[in-house]
Each structure stands twice: as C-alpha cells, then as structure tokens.
Structure 1
Amino acid sequence: MTPSLTGAIEIPGGILVRGRGLRRPAPGGPSPEFGLYLGSDRLRRRHEEALPWPHQWLRWPDFLLPLDRQAAAGAVAGLREQALAGRRVEVACGGGVGRTGTVLACLATLGGLPPGEAVAWVRANYHRRAVETPWQRRWVAWFSGNNPPASDL
C-alpha cells in the first residue's frame, strides 16, 4: 500500500487529500503523486521548480474565484479521480486557507455532503477559516449543482 502524504485528511467519500500553503515549507515524508495548485502566474513562477511531480495549475486570484469555472470544476473532479485511483494527492494555494479550503469543500460535496455542511466540515477538520469569502462559499454551492452526485461518479 502506498503511504499517505503527511498531513493528508480523509474527505467524506473516503479519499485522502493534503491541503497546504505553498508559502510554507513542504511537509516531510513522501512526495505527492499529483498536485492541484491554485494561484496567479506569479505564484506559479515562484513555486513551479519545487513541484517535480505531475500537477496542474489553475489561475485563481487570492480571495476570489477561479478565472475559468468549468476548467476548475473539471480539475477538482480530476483531483478526486487521482485520489480514488490511490495516488497521493495535494491541493495548495499561497496560504493554504481560502482557495485550498474551497477545493476541499468541493471534494466533500462529491463525497455526498451538501454545500453548507461541506464548508462546515472543512472548517472543523482542515482549517477554521477555510473558504474565506462569501463568493467562495457560493462557488462551492455552484460546483455542487454542476457536478453529478457522488453515487453517480
């Protein structure tokens, strides 16, 4: 069995995902086998060299929403598929709170939680300030309504 990532949490639906902030040192232990990174082109340039594993970047400004909703929804679903396949996965943004928490809440909706419960679950199990803005909370609801329920995946 593949060892899990240091700091990974079990999301409702049974997948393990590590959330983190890129501005902090990477945790020890095994490296991710796939990562989803959220931020500006500047954040990408600053951190790209430190990410030698397969990964995807989404242009997602701090405190705001992804610039391309559909691409972001597909990337979140793709991250879940990687985790379901047993790969060590992580999601990260600059601080590891708002954008990262938003993606973790979206993953929780794919695991069967309604959007409001998914946000509360992430705040209780990942970071108390996760999903920082009202529009990020609304995006979790939008995501939930635009993706098939977990039983259909």
Structure 2
Amino acid sequence: MITSPLTDAIRLPDGTWIRGRGLRRPLPEGPAPEVGLYLGSARLRRRHEGTLSWPHTWIDWPDFLLPRDSGEAVRQIRALHEKARSGAAAEVACGGGVGRTGTVIACLAILSGLDPADAVAWARRHHHPKAVETPWQRRWVARFPAA
C-alpha cells in the first residue's frame, strides 16, 4: 500500500493523500510538503508566510466564513487535488485546521468521487470531528462543483 510521505496525511476516496493542519501548531515532524494551499486573511498570511518554504498558494478566506472569491477558491482547490493526485506531498491549512481546512478537505473528497451529501460527514470522520464548522460552510460544500 502506498503511503503519504507527510505525517498525519489522510487518504481521500480516490486514493490521493492530503494533510490538513492548523498553522498555529508546529509543523509536524518529517518531510516538508511539496505544495500547499493556505486559507486565511492577510493577517494570517503575514504571520505564517515566512515559514512556508515550499510552493504554495493562499486563498483569502476569513475565519468562520467563506472565501472572498468563490470561483478562485474552486480553481485553487481543484489545482491542489490535481497536484496531490499526481503524487505531490500536499497539505491544506488554516489557522486552527478545523473549519476552513475541513471545508476544503470535504471539497477534495467530492473531487475524489464522493457524493456531496456525504462529504461533511466524511471530513468529520477522517480529518476532525468538528470539520466544516458553520452552516454556510456546509452549504458551500454541498454546492461544490464536482466537475
């Protein structure tokens, strides 16, 4: 069985590996990611940008809310999935690693073939029990375009 080189990575329904984490916690031991998608405000970005030495992208996504540019967020989530599917050691992270990160993990599960109706429960079972924290995040996942 193929495993992810990233500590604490989870396997999506299509076999793709992704690590979800909180930027406020220390970087897990082991190899660094090869690509990352980070979710947060300009303040979170300023605080953590210098610690990310690998290729990465930021989505302007306030805590407990939705991305400011939904179309760009969908494009970046799709791009992360493609890179991870191609074998890149990939991670997604926000400040705490639960709400926004869980929302993206649920969307990645949809891109992996999971029915959108099951994505939040899947993210809670595999990533964090409180993943996808708000009703609007749950609606965003339910409407995430699978194709």
The TM-score with structure 2 as length reference comes to 0.96
Q: Which runs of 5+ in 2 are unaligned?
A: none
The 3-state SS of whatever aligns with 2:45 is helix
- Does residue 51 (structure 1) correspond to residue 52 (structure 2)? The answer is yes
Tell me which residue corresponds to 2:130: 129
- Does residue 79 (structure 1) correspond to residue 71 (structure 2)? The answer is no
* Structure 1 position 116, deviation (Å): 2.5
* Structure 1 position 2, deviation (Å): 8.7
Pairing 1:1-153 to 2, within 5 Å after superposition: 4-143=5-144, 146-148=145-147
Give percent identity, aligned residues only: 63
User: C-alpha offsets along residues 26-78 of structure 1, whole Å, 9 cap, x if unaligned?
Assistant: 10000000000000000000000000100000000000000000000000000
Q: In 2, are the aligned partners of 1:3 and 1:30 still within 8 Å (CA)?
A: no
What is the identity, as a one-letter code, of the residue corresponding to 1:128?
P
The 3-state SS of whatever aligns with 1:86 is coil
Q: Which runs of 5+ in 1 are unaligned?
A: 149-153
The TM-score with structure 1 as length reference comes to 0.92
Aligned mates of 1:122, 1:36 — CA distance in 2:
17
Q: In 2, are the aligned partners of 1:4 and 1:16 still within 8 Å (CA)?
A: no
> Is the alpha carbon distance of 1:141 and 1:2 closer, same or farther for their aligned partners in structure 2, counting shifts above 3 Å?
closer
* Structure 1 position 147, deviation (Å): 3.5
User: C-alpha offsets along residues 72-128 of structure 1, whole Å, 9 cap, x if unaligned?
Assistant: 000000000110110000000000000000000001111111223111011011100
Aligned mates of 1:147, 1:125 — CA distance in 2:
20
Q: In 2, are the aligned partners of 1:9 and 1:16 still within 8 Å (CA)?
A: yes
What is the identity, as a one-letter code, of the residue corresponding to 1:38?
L
The 3-state SS of whatever aligns with 1:96 is coil
Q: In 1, are the aligned partners of 2:110 and 2:146 still within 8 Å (CA)?
A: no
The 3-state SS of whatever aligns with 1:66 is coil
> What is the number of equivalent residue pairs in this alignment?
146
Aligned mates of 1:62, 1:96 — CA distance in 2:
11
What is the identity, as a one-letter code, of the residue corresponding to 2:87?
G
